[in-house]
Chains A and B, each alone.
Chain A
């Protein structure tokens, strides 16, 4: 009888936990869902063409995010140019070349550590280094490089993980027909790990788009009623890099500025910007999940 009781009690415990687990999962998602619905309810009426092609303004109903999304785009471009080559190269070096010595160990520990440094610290480092020491000012270049350093660990770690899944017999087969190390990497390692690396790149870019704190410290302005200089012009030399040193604003900063205002009309604008931001980051993250899934199916070792 008491054994039966015990069994029943234990079985009940299992059931309760199964239930609790499900509740917690559902709770987490309902928070995400509430956030999305609440934001849509407030901000959706503001989302129209004008919102995307207007500059910020002190009249909330006339204000838009033109300079903000152009700024975000420009900065993500600089970030990619910096972080992708550097991150992938570091990943390749650590997986394929690095010998087991103190210097490789130092680099590895350092990357783990970099990933754990709060983003705002990158921001104040960039304020002192890029803005004042290198005299780059409060420019798109500064912002892009700051975010580039910030997302570097993400790209390095995913590149390494992607390369690590490739079995060593692939490399041995390549060497055995006379390929050099770099040829092996160029024709085998990189193509096979492309999916994994892309996943990391997409996640890193989504992080860069949503990042706010370090850009506040390097001086992103909230009120920018003009666009950066166009990169292509009709007069010689046709291509201009002037935009790199122009002041800028980005979507998260614009949103932060609108949240900080007391008037509720501006909160509507903030919600509308939030919808744009949220959609972009969620789409990028879902894309990353799909890329990972497809490549996992494509290569089975």
Chain B
């Protein structure tokens, strides 16, 4: 009897062990499976970049078989859809640069003043309320900003200077500047708040004022963060589409006159996409050429931004 029970219990514990180990195995497999799925999800984001680079190159390549790189970079007219087509990217680049510069001349000073004010001067309560509110500026749909630039800002500018045309780079640039203030202010403020309190105290103890401390101690220490905020803002301004497509016009012009209509790289893509465009035609290829140019600009800016940021991280360590 006892022998039997002993045998039985041994048998039982053996199957128990087996069951346990098989359950453990299932659990292990499940864990591995989950990790694999998650890894594939993470990897798919790399595929997106790959797809972007691939399509831009593949669709733009045939264009460069027809148009020489020299013509593309030096010709000062961009009329790919005309009878006598000219393929110089310069007018689109100057249009983009002009609206970007106007936007930055608003966004950088305003954003910087805001960030210094919020980080160094304002009380905690003011900061807690205003920081998220300020981010609403970046949340407004860009098509709404386009409406505002064309139907509110331009008429006001025309009252001041009647020679300004209905579509002009100035109003688009100004409105875009307001729109990207949060990109500058939010990141710069984070950078300045990360500056150790001891630096401020040291400066104040030497008799420096708050203003002097902010601009001669805090801002230089947060330089990397502020610089990467600027880079982000530039990249946003270059890539912004709807505001310029609506308010700046669709006429590529090799000039730097902000009161005239112009066209940016992004606006050109919109203009062409609005029409009916057969797949593979030269017009279709030109939007990829414009896109590739845009990508080269923003990608290099992103790289610069990342360089600056990684230097910052090393410094903090």
Q: Which A residues contact B (CB, under 8 angstroms)?
A: 10-11, 13-14, 17-18, 20-22, 24-25, 27-29, 31-32, 34-35, 38-39, 42, 85-86, 89-90, 92-94, 97-98, 106-107, 109-114, 116-125, 127-129, 132, 149, 152-153, 156, 180-182, 203, 206-207, 209-213, 216-217, 219, 252, 255-256, 259-260, 267, 270-271, 274, 277-278, 281-282, 285-286, 289
Chain A contact residues: over half helix, strand or loop, or mixed? helix
CB-based contact A116/B152 at 8 Å: no
The closest CB in chain A to the CB of B214 belongs to: A17
Among the 9-residue stretches B14-22, B79-87, B116-124, B191-199, the one with 4 or more Cβ atoms under 8 Å from chain A is B116-124
> Which listed residue, B35, B122, B144, B306, touches A112 by the CB 8 Å rule?
B306
- The A/B interface has a contact count, at CB < 8 Å, of 248
Q: In this assembly, does B11 line the interface, its C-beta being within 8 Å of a C-beta of chain A?
A: no
CB-based contact A24/B110 at 8 Å: yes
A107-B43, A118-B238 given; 5 more Cβ-contact pairs under 8 Å: A89-B42, A117-B298, A212-B242, A217-B273, A255-B147
CB-based contact A259/B147 at 8 Å: yes
Taking the closest CB of chain A, its distance from the CB of B148, in whole angstroms, is 5
Q: In this assembly, does B312 line the interface, its C-beta being within 8 Å of a C-beta of chain A?
A: no
Taking the closest CB of chain B, its distance from the CB of A214, in whole angstroms, is 9
CB-based contact B246/A259 at 8 Å: yes
Taking the closest CB of chain A, its distance from the CB of B121, in whole angstroms, is 5
Q: In this assembly, does B241 line the interface, its C-beta being within 8 Å of a C-beta of chain A?
A: yes
CB-based contact B239/A93 at 8 Å: no
CB-based contact A97/B35 at 8 Å: yes
CB-based contact A98/B55 at 8 Å: no
Chain A residues with CB under 8 Å of B235's CB are 116, 118
Chain B residues with CB under 8 Å of A153's CB are 45
State the 8 A-B residue pairs at the shortest beta-carbon distance, nearest first: A118-B239, A21-B117, A210-B141, A89-B41, A213-B241, A93-B38, A116-B302, A128-B55
CB-based contact A120/B39 at 8 Å: no
Taking the closest CB of chain A, its distance from the CB of B20, in whole angstroms, is 13
CB-based contact B301/A116 at 8 Å: yes
Taking the closest CB of chain A, its distance from the CB of B102, in whole angstroms, is 15
Chain B residues with CB under 8 Å of A117's CB are 52, 239, 295, 298-299, 302
CB-based contact A24/B43 at 8 Å: no
Give A195 to B262 CA distance when docked, in angstroms. 45
Q: In this assembly, does B136 line the interface, its C-beta being within 8 Å of a C-beta of chain A?
A: yes
CB-based contact B144/A32 at 8 Å: no
Chain B residues with CB under 8 Å of A112's CB are 302, 306
Chain A residues with CB under 8 Å of B210's CB are 14, 17
**Given the contacts A21-B117, A277-B141, A282-B139, A217 and B269 also touching, CB distance less than 8 Å:** yes
